[in-house]
Structure 1
């Protein structure tokens, strides 16, 4: 039986004391015997952690006791062993690099659609206004190769900093349709949706909680394949389990834990 709780969580919130916060979080994760990665940037926090369920949830409660992070929510999945080799807390300029400092989710989020509403739209073939829905994958190409929503647009970007140029080059694919941007856990598609709104593409939504939240609430309908995750499990099926009996499809990549 799977006994290790895995969580991914992020929140855009102003952080002006990263060194102090890193020390505080270091004490908390060591006390809870957790492993994984936490990224801290002036724009917010991003974390991928695994460990004992009670200790990990207690750690999250402690983080939420800081008023800046009280709205932090986590996507949960399970494994039968610890998927991380060590615990890292890193300071970054952005918790997901886009190189567009004017894109500031902390100042206001783009509109979002929840997994159950998206499932209904995809099943009926249009949104509630009768407009065609197009899914836009904001992840890197090697992640998309593990699985994506049926018929999703995939611009084969190699890193998220290429996304803005891809939008400009392919804008006609999005005009006149309801665009739902998505990613693994929500962080990239949140920035992507804001960027597209700033360009005047007003019918753009982000998938709340990303693919992992869709799997949790809906399952795998309208999704083909698995979801790549940046830890030792490699990829999760729509039931949030590891396909243990398949040979590894691990592909060359840069560094782990630089995503959402």
Structure 2
């Protein structure tokens, strides 16, 4: 039996997350799901996995249960399948933000930044410009270690270590993006949506978010104009453009990404070290 992986997020004002938390946890566990659900005053963000029946029941629960007063009626889910359960347990957490930017004034439910869907973006990238003739710049809003696993061709990567660094970095580079169409992107859409809203607020004129992020792009048009894999925050580590798991793993020691090639290094010890954090990495380099 294959496992269905669900991911979804929605920016919407939530006032009852304290009361919802135990009820959502109870229902998720009863369905046999595992993963993480984040609830915050600004919305919901989730990654859960289980059987086909459990996944369908969970989607119906969030969209239609009277508890939520219709707040998640339009919640859109992205799906992929895996041969095994990618999560160890089921967690429901309360957070200040479902994605931390430290800009609480941003309220996406009051107005989203313009979005571009995957087929339209592919057409722009095929042509080298948008429908108005402006050059298209792909802006990766993910952390540096995620970008290293794979990204769009010629994407801008500011080497951020956490998303809260984004506002300062984009301010420092705004002049470089003048008169260009900027498409912000991330894994599933949540970071690039918040990033695009912030960019609109500080004066960027032509900025879009990639609707549904990289995973939706893979689902709809495959890997065109993308090189490498897409890092995901579960035990699959990375997905290919067919949304299948890859041999890439995460190091137990430093949590860095370890490619298949790096796993063949004598400095890779599964469950302990990778070539980047092995205690003898300096000695091995000198010997080489």
Instruction: Name the TM tier (shorter chain).
Output: over 0.9
Q: Distance in 2 between matches of 1:249 and 1:22?
A: 30
Q: CA shift at 1:3, angstroms?
A: 0.4
Of 56-65 and 43-52, the range deviating more from structure 2: 56-65
1 CA distance for matches of 2:225 and 2:156?
Answer: 14
Please give the secondary structure, in 2, of the residue aligned with 1:190: helix
- Larger-Rg structure: 2
Change (3 A) 1:253 1:161: farther
Aligned to 2:269: none
Partner of residue 48, structure 2: 49
Answer 1 or 2: higher relative contact order, Cα 8 Å, separation at least 6.
1
Distance 1:40 1:253 in 2: 25
Distance 1:178 1:204 in 2: 6
Q: How does 1:1-260 map to 2 (within 5 A)?
A: 3-65=2-64, 66=68, 67-243=70-246, 246=247, 248=249, 250=251, 252-253=254-255
RMSD: 1.3
1:147-178: CA deviations, max 9, x gaps? 00000000000000000011011112211100
Structure 2 length-normalised TM: 0.85
Shift of 1:222: 0.2
Q: Deviations over 1:93-150 (max 9, x none)?
A: 0000000111111211100000000000000111001110000000000000000000
Distance in 2 separating the partners of 1:40 and 1:249: 26
Partners of 2:248 and 2:55 in 1: CA distance: 30
- 8 A Cα contact 1:131 1:177, kept in partner: yes
Partners of 1:128 and 1:163 lie apart in 2 by: 28
Q: Taking structure 1 as the reference length, what is the TM-score of the superposition?
A: 0.94
Q: How much has 1:248 moved relative to structure 2?
A: 3.1
Question: Which consecutive unaligned segments of at least 5 residues does structure 2 have?
Answer: 257-288
CA distance, structure 2, for counterparts of residue 89 and residue 96 of structure 1: 15
2:90 and 2:177 map into 1 onto residues whose CA distance is 40
Whole-Å separation in 1 of the counterparts to 2:19 and 2:43:
14
Give the distance between the partners of 1:209 and 1:71, measured in 2 at CA: 14
